[in-house]
Chains A and B, each alone.
Chain A
């Protein structure tokens, strides 16, 4: 049909109608930037097993995605506008990292991508985010536990980003071009996240009796999930062996040193609580998760699953 709205060439750029006159319908639950890895060298580095690379990228991507979702729950709920914006920004950075990492997993080994209902335009990274079950997620459990108060968000972001930054600092030299690029970009973002949380950690610890007691309670509750971050899963060992990944055990010393700096500045001692055990030795990296992840996924996935062909 011919449009009855006629625009001169000069008007066209500024007109709000321009976009309405073209058919730009796209997948309703993603950004529709066709391939986030277009233009990136996605060949599998020589001597690397493609399924290992995909499984490793999936682990990192799931950490980012689940952590991003949890942090995004703070949007409009933080104690003040500045921190609302800060937490939203942190969630957005992690979501961006998740998208690239999940796309990398799909590109390395298409068999990790779940089958979609017929006619769904969801790109592979969205298929991975929206159409997998909880037991198929490989994120560390620290990312998934239910949010508490602002002190809890501070401790969670601190523990996650201290560990993650140490991993990404090493991942910058990955033989995989995508992972090295994601890491090189990610370290800049994670450094802001870590320092933001570290400053709040010290502020709350040295603030009022109330803020200190809440901070200590938060640290106590999340502390049992800290050791899991440094466990070496066979996939991580294989990826590290092939020079594409990082063995998290290797970053423990660096991460503990940074955390100790924060604890010292805050005059807080390490809690004595033991690590949270897995189920028959299985933890987040093995797909063993708490109920919290199922609820999180139900909220995140249900609309996309109800409308797998959704366009707007």
Chain B
């Protein structure tokens, strides 16, 4: 067997996986969202993909799996195994710079740095203080409507300059 073949197979698998986007944030690839944890070709045409959920109950996992299977099967892999990797837990810090730019371009405010989750997590009784700019008019005059938005990973904000509501990917 050609020694370069496994490497070519891996490149082909990566290329196929690179086409898969998040079902709820379709402007982001799984890699940009940081949920893609690994791609490995283990046999002649057997590929293993590791993904991690954003939130424990993320209903998008099954759709991601189906999309990965479809792209990889389409790229000629006979056996596609999608595994869920729980550890380490996903953090918004894994969203790539390209992913953040894509979110902002789509009118979704990207997350700031994730808070430390070592030790006890202090109670915060005031609305989470964030420097959130309106993704439409770039005003910093924004207010939090709810920490829970249209999907598990987003908070709901409102711009008090242009009055438009918008989503903010919350830091975890």
Contacts and interface: CB of A to CB of B under 8 A. Distances in A.
Interface residues of B, number: 41
Interface stretch (A44-52, A81-89, A280-288): A81-89
A interface residue count range (under 10 / 10 to 19 / 20 to 34 / 35 or more):
35 or more
A261 B57 contact: no
Contacts of B55: 92-93, 96, 185, 189
SS class, residues of chain A in contact with chain B: helix
Given A97-B57, A185-B86, A199-B125, A86 B62 contact: no
B124 A195 contact: yes
Contacts of A82: 145-146, 148, 156
Interface stretch (B8-16, B103-111, B115-123, B134-142): B115-123
A184 B87 contact: yes
SS class, residues of chain B in contact with chain A: loop
Contacts of A185: 53, 55-56, 86, 89-90
Contacts of A96: 53, 55-58
Interface in A246-260: 254, 258
Interface stretch (A33-41, A114-122, A131-139, A289-297): A33-41
A178 B86 contact: yes
B67 to A, nearest CB: 9
A184 B119 CA distance: 11
Contact of A33 (B84, B85, B86): B84
Interface in B44-61: 50, 53, 55-59, 61
Nearest to A83: B146
A100 B53 CA distance: 12
Contact of B152 (A89, A100, A169, A191): A89
Interface of A: 9, 24, 31-33, 36-40, 82-83, 85-86, 88-90, 92-97, 99-100, 165-166, 169, 177-178, 180-182, 184-189, 191-192, 194-196, 198-199, 202, 254, 258, 261-262, 265
